[in-house]
Amino acid sequence: MTRSFARSTLSPALRAAAHGVGVPEDPWPAFARRERHHQLTRLIRTALAAAVGVALVGVQTNVVPLPGWAPGIAVAATPTALLDAPPRGALAGDRAWLDTLRARISTDSAVRIDAPLGAWKVGDRGRIRLIYGSDQPGHRVALVAVPLRFGLLTREALVWYVGPAGADAQQMRYGGHSEGDDDPVMTLMQAFPGQAGFAVVVGPAESTVSISGDPRYTSRGTVEYQDIARADGSGVGFAVLPPEPLPLEPVVRVSRGDQVFFQGGLGGGPYAGLDRTGPEMDALVTAARRPARGTPLDDANLRNFVHTALQDSHLPAAGTTVRVRWSGSEHGRAAALLTVQPAGGGVIAYAMHGDDRTGWSTDLRLLLPADGADQRPIGWRVRTEDGARPPTGEVRVIAPPDAARVTVTVGGAPPATVAVDATNAGTTRVPPDQPATLTAYSRDGGVLGTTPLPSVESDSDAGGLPGDGPATRVTP
């Protein structure tokens, strides 16, 4: 009776309470809808990314063509010293010829320049510009700036075109292109068997161009050039070359006042060169050994040292005298100080070290007056073997044969004695940024000779001949 009453009384109350409690909706259907939406969104994004990636790969590999006018990412800058100048040469005003050349270049497969990233193609042909164009004896030469594209990457190259004198644009042929992106000077040399060749140099506007023939080292310790260049407008030089191969490459110098834009050999050959095993070289090497102080050089090292000196000075083996002043070792390799003298000319001192395994390094090039050259002490700054080979502060000194004593004077300091060994070689310390003078004395205390310690050559000095700059000569 009691339990029945409790059920009948509580059941309605419990049902009412149960109906008052909110039961949450099943979450799965909503989750499933959201997940389907997210999956669809991810699928669309993935497809779009893949399509863009394929397109970019196609563009970057030049499979998918991109208009030449389309913007790109510039990866290098062409020298403004050449591009900022107005077009030079007689062809600068021939608009019809230039328009035809632009069309020719834009379809010329030879201008597709191989690079580590692939083949660069010609971009917008409307941006092809003439830098220089002219007729010379037997030849028509043009230097043009060509926009190139490799996919999204862009750059500008300077390209030579060459043809016969008076050639129309279709007869012009690709002759080479710029290798560097910051070189303000472009050179071209072409030689032909049995007929005259030519060399042309284009530098910044208002610069002076010289192309040397055989140099002349005067007895007073200076170098003179036989300039074979003819001016062809501002900053342009042109030279006609003989049918027979030149003994050595001409030296080009492009400058404006004291500023040197370029100084170095004119590549392109062919050149007769020097026969390091010929009878003239054999006689030169044999004579160079007598007399010599220090550890004797083996034939291979001596022959290489002599050959390097003759090539650097642009002197022939015939009629040139070479003497080994000292030989020993530097950085564990064979080393020597030798002098080279053309008949009736100045004396060039060369210090070198190296071997067949590691190569050779030139430590000194110094043009001296002929008078008293054998009585001068000669010194050079020892460099490290790393990178640009900066000077260490150590100086190698070679005394003349008759010297009883050698001193070094650094700046305004009093002279200090340099200890030399039985081979007349010694070392001293001079800060790399300090000038110094070496003086040799005879046994009776008289001065035999005085020589300034050369500074380390700059890049412009290193490109020219001994005597071109103050670091490679003693004559003011």
The Cβ-side half-sphere exposure at 39, using a 13 Å CA radius, reads: 6
pLDDT at 11 over 70: no
Contact 236, 200 (CB under 8 A): yes
The fraction of the chain above a pLDDT of 70, given in percent, is 78
Residue 2, pLDDT score:
43
Could you read off the pLDDT of 155-172 as tens digits, one per residue? 788 899 999 999 999 899
* Section 90-107 average pLDDT: 90
pLDDT tier at 120, thresholds 50, 70, 90: confident
Mean pLDDT, residues 187-191 taken together: 89
Residue 180 has pLDDT above 70, yes or no: no
> What pLDDT score does 60 carry?
45
8 A C-beta contact, residue 221 and residue 467:
yes
How far, in Å, are 291, 336, 363, 396, 418 from residue 330 at the CA level? 21, 9, 10, 10, 18
The whole-chain average pLDDT of the chain stands at: 82
Judged by average pLDDT, the poorest of 136-145, 337-346, 371-380 is 136-145
Picking from 429, 115, 108, 460, the residue whose alpha carbon sits closest to that of residue 253 is: 460
Residue with tokens 């009093």: 414
> Is pLDDT larger for residue 54 or for residue 156?
156
Task: Give the separation between CA 418 and CA 439, rounded to whole angstroms.
Answer: 10
Return the higher-pLDDT residue of 84 and 111.
84
Instruction: Tell me the per-residue pLDDT of 281-324, one tens digit each, with 9 for 90 and over.
Output: 999 999 998 776 788 899 999 999 999 999 899 898 989 999 99
Q: Is the pLDDT of residue 384 over 50?
A: yes
Position 137 confidence tier, pLDDT thresholds 50, 70, 90: confident
Q: Which pLDDT score is estimated for 458? A: 66
Tokens at residue 354, please? 């190296």
**How far, rounded to the nearest angstrom, does the alpha carbon of residue 21 sit from its chain's CA centroid?**
87
pLDDT number for residue 308: 93
**Confidence band of 117 (pLDDT split at 50, 70, 90):** very low
SS3 per-residue string spanning the chain: CHHHHHHHHHHHHHHHHHHHCCCCCCCHHHHHHHHHHHHHHHHHHHHHHHHHHHHHHHHHCCCCCCCCCCCCEECCCCCHHHHCCCCECHHHHCHHHHHHHHHHHHCCHHHCEEECCEEEEECCHHHCEEEEEEEECCEEEEEEEEEEEECCEEEEEEEEEEEECCCCHHHCEEEEECCCCCCCCEEEEEEECCEEEEEEEECCCCCEEEEECCCEECCCCCEECCECCEECCCCEEEEEECCCCECCCCEEEEEECCEEEEEEECCCCCECCCCCCCHHHHHHHHHHCCCCCECCCCHHHHHHHHHHHHHHHCCCCCCEEEEEEEEEEECCEEEEEEEEEECCCCEEEEEEEEECCCEEEEEEEEEECCCCHHHCCEEEEEECCCCCCCEEEEEEEECCCCCCEEEEEECCCCCEECCECCCCEEEEECCCCCCEEEEEECCCCCEEEEEECCCCCCHHHHHCCCCCCHHHECCC
Segment 424-437 shows an average pLDDT of 94
Type of residue at 256: R
Q: Is the pLDDT of residue 462 over 50?
A: yes
- Quick one: pLDDT at residue 112? 52
pLDDT at 269 over 90: no
pLDDT class for 56, splitting at 50, 70, 90? very low
For residue 360, what pLDDT is reported? 83
Q: How confident is the model at residue 149 (pLDDT cuts 50, 70, 90)?
A: confident
pLDDT mean over 111-130: 69
Predicted confidence at residue 115, as pLDDT, reads 47
Q: How confident is the model at residue 87 (pLDDT cuts 50, 70, 90)?
A: very high
Confidence at residue 32, expressed as pLDDT on a 0 to 100 scale: 58
pLDDT of residue 168: 92
> Which has the closest alpha carbon to 214: 272, 258, 262, 268?
272
Mean pLDDT of 25-37: 60
- Predicted local distance difference test score (pLDDT) of residue 29: 61
Q: Per-residue pLDDT averaged across 130-154, rounded? A: 88
Catalogue all structural domains in the chain, each as residue range(s) with its CATH number.
58-181 (no CATH), 184-271 (2.60.40), 279-472 (no CATH)
Q: What does the pLDDT read at residue 19?
A: 53
What average pLDDT does the segment 433-441 reach?
96
- Taking residues 263-271, report their average pLDDT: 77
Highest averaged pLDDT of the listed ranges 65-74, 350-359, 398-407: 398-407
Question: Stretch 186-215: mean pLDDT, rounded?
Answer: 88
Q: What is the pLDDT, as a whole number, of residue 52?
A: 45
Question: Residue 83: what pLDDT?
Answer: 82
In this prediction the pTM is 0.67
pLDDT at 356 over 60: yes
Nearest to 186 by CA among 118, 262, 286: 262
Q: Is residue 466 predicted with pLDDT exceeding 70?
A: yes
